[in-house]
Amino acid sequence: MYHKYKSFLDKFINLNYVEWKLFQSRIKVVTFKKGETIHHIGDISNKLLFINSGLARAYVIDENGKDYTWSIFFNDENSKMTNLFLVDYESFCKQCSSKLIIEALEDCEAFSLEHSDVMFLYGKLKKFERFGRLMGEEAYVYLHNLIIDRQTKDAKARFEKFMDETPYLLDRVPQYHIASFLDMTAQHLSSLKKENNYT
């Protein structure tokens, strides 16, 4: 049941049997139905949710009420750390009010760790503290590259990168969510799909 989570952790830290059992003892399994709001704007992100199955997205809302997809969450061999954790990382680390909304695009199963459990694990084992640092580095690198791509790559290049990395999401995620994630209009995305024979 936990093999995806264990495999992910093994990329960063080597846990022995006792350490893994300690970690596992803190995990709770949670499920969300398609369309359900997992996290509300303004709430404090108190749970670190590792997505085991399903699909979700985080989004922000501008002053005119328009929403923009911030991240898409899924778990497969192409997932990066930022795809795996259903969390507002700033809110979780600082325990401050969240700027994000997270919703389930499909039925989802996730493994939940309370903020207090994460702090307990950091204090109990240096390996977990190291894991937290590496997660922070991964999150920064993701954001760093996302901003640079949006400032230096045109819409076609952003679309091509998306298709190189996660082409199957084109059939699973509503097109207007993908368009906002790629910082383009739905019409522009439709044109790029036709141009590249993705119909």
pLDDT more than 90, % of the chain: 61
pLDDT at 96 (0 to 100): 95
Distance CA 199, CA 131 (A): 41
- Strand residue runs (E) in the chain: 28-32, 37-39, 47-53, 56-61, 67-73, 85-86, 101-104, 108-114
pLDDT at 51 (0 to 100): 96
Closest by CA position to 29, among listed 109, 108, 88, 105: 109
Mean pLDDT of the chain: 91
195: confidence class by pLDDT, cuts 50, 70, 90: confident
pTM (two decimals): 0.89
Distance CA 82, CA 139 (A): 6
Q: Which helix (H) or strand (E) holds 74?
A: none
Side chain identity at residue 122, one-letter code: Y
In this predicted model, what pLDDT tens digit does every residue of 46-91 receive, in sequence order? 999 999 999 999 999 988 888 999 999 999 887 888 889 999 989 9
